[in-house]
Protein backbone atom coordinates (compact mmCIF):
# COMPACT_ATOMS: atom_id res chain seq x y z
CA UNK A 1 0.00 0.00 0.00
CA UNK A 2 1.55 3.29 -1.07
CA UNK A 3 1.35 6.48 0.92
CA UNK A 4 0.08 9.72 -0.59
CA UNK A 5 2.58 11.86 1.26
CA UNK A 6 5.77 11.38 3.24
CA UNK A 7 4.97 11.84 6.95
CA UNK A 8 6.46 14.52 9.18
CA UNK A 9 8.66 13.51 12.09
CA UNK A 10 6.54 12.68 15.14
CA UNK A 11 6.22 15.39 17.78
CA UNK A 12 3.51 16.11 20.32
CA UNK A 13 2.38 19.17 18.34
CA UNK A 14 2.30 17.23 15.08
CA UNK A 15 0.27 14.43 16.68
CA UNK A 16 -2.23 16.94 18.07
CA UNK A 17 -2.75 18.74 14.77
CA UNK A 18 -2.77 15.52 12.76
CA UNK A 19 -5.55 14.22 15.01
CA UNK A 20 -7.55 17.42 14.64
CA UNK A 21 -7.25 17.38 10.85
CA UNK A 22 -8.07 13.63 10.68
CA UNK A 23 -11.27 14.30 12.65
CA UNK A 24 -12.12 17.24 10.36
CA UNK A 25 -11.62 15.05 7.28
CA UNK A 26 -13.65 12.26 8.90
CA UNK A 27 -16.50 14.64 9.66
CA UNK A 28 -16.49 15.78 6.03
CA UNK A 29 -16.80 12.15 4.89
CA UNK A 30 -19.50 11.40 7.46
CA UNK A 31 -21.46 14.47 6.37
CA UNK A 32 -21.19 13.42 2.72
CA UNK A 33 -22.40 9.92 3.54
CA UNK A 34 -25.37 11.23 5.49
CA UNK A 35 -26.23 13.64 2.67
CA UNK A 36 -26.13 10.70 0.24
CA UNK A 37 -28.53 8.80 2.50
CA UNK A 38 -26.17 5.85 2.93
CA UNK A 39 -25.39 3.76 5.97
CA UNK A 40 -21.77 3.10 6.87
CA UNK A 41 -22.20 -0.45 5.57
CA UNK A 42 -23.69 0.69 2.25
CA UNK A 43 -21.03 3.34 1.66
CA UNK A 44 -18.23 0.94 2.54
CA UNK A 45 -19.54 -1.73 0.18
CA UNK A 46 -19.81 0.76 -2.68
CA UNK A 47 -16.22 1.89 -2.05
CA UNK A 48 -14.92 -1.71 -1.79
CA UNK A 49 -14.01 -1.20 1.88
CA UNK A 50 -15.10 -2.86 5.08
CA UNK A 51 -17.60 -1.07 7.31
CA UNK A 52 -14.89 -0.98 10.00
CA UNK A 53 -12.44 0.78 7.64
CA UNK A 54 -15.09 3.34 6.67
CA UNK A 55 -16.12 3.96 10.29
CA UNK A 56 -12.47 4.46 11.29
CA UNK A 57 -12.08 7.12 8.59
CA UNK A 58 -15.22 8.91 9.75
CA UNK A 59 -13.98 8.77 13.36
CA UNK A 60 -10.63 10.25 12.35
CA UNK A 61 -8.79 7.14 13.53
CA UNK A 62 -7.31 6.44 10.10
CA UNK A 63 -7.05 8.00 6.65
CA UNK A 64 -7.31 6.74 3.10
CA UNK A 65 -3.77 5.69 2.22
CA UNK A 66 -4.00 5.75 -1.55
CA UNK A 67 -5.38 7.90 -4.32
CA UNK A 68 -7.56 4.94 -5.33
CA UNK A 69 -9.19 4.86 -1.89
CA UNK A 70 -9.84 8.59 -2.03
CA UNK A 71 -11.31 8.23 -5.52
CA UNK A 72 -13.57 5.37 -4.38
CA UNK A 73 -14.82 7.43 -1.45
CA UNK A 74 -15.42 10.46 -3.67
CA UNK A 75 -17.28 8.34 -6.24
CA UNK A 76 -19.38 6.67 -3.53
CA UNK A 77 -20.43 10.02 -2.08
CA UNK A 78 -20.78 11.72 -5.46
CA UNK A 79 -18.11 14.25 -4.50
CA UNK A 80 -16.35 15.82 -7.47
CA UNK A 81 -12.69 14.86 -7.62
CA UNK A 82 -11.65 18.53 -7.57
CA UNK A 83 -13.57 19.04 -4.34
CA UNK A 84 -12.00 15.95 -2.78
CA UNK A 85 -8.49 17.10 -3.69
CA UNK A 86 -9.17 20.54 -2.20
CA UNK A 87 -10.35 18.92 1.05
CA UNK A 88 -7.22 16.75 1.12
CA UNK A 89 -5.07 19.87 0.62
CA UNK A 90 -6.97 21.67 3.38
CA UNK A 91 -6.50 18.68 5.70
CA UNK A 92 -2.96 17.89 4.55
CA UNK A 93 -1.59 17.99 8.11
CA UNK A 94 -3.74 14.90 8.80
CA UNK A 95 -1.37 13.05 6.46
CA UNK A 96 1.62 14.68 8.16
CA UNK A 97 2.58 17.29 5.59
CA UNK A 98 2.65 21.05 5.94
Domain 12-93 has CATH 3.40.30.10: no
pTM of the complete model:
0.83
Report the sign of the C-alpha dihedral through residues 15, 57, 73, 49, in that order: positive
pLDDT in tens, the chain (98 residues): 445 555 555 556 678 888 899 999 999 999 999 999 999 999 999 999 999 999 999 999 999 989 999 999 999 999 999 999 999 999 988 888 77
The DSSP annotation for 25-87 comes to HHHHHHHHHHHHT--HHHHHHHTT--HHHHHHHHTTS----SHHHHHHHHHHTT--HHHHHHH
| Domain extents in the chain | 12-93
Amino acid sequence: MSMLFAPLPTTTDNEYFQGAWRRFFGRFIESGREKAGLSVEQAAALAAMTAEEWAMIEAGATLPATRQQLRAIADTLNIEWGTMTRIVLLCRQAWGIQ
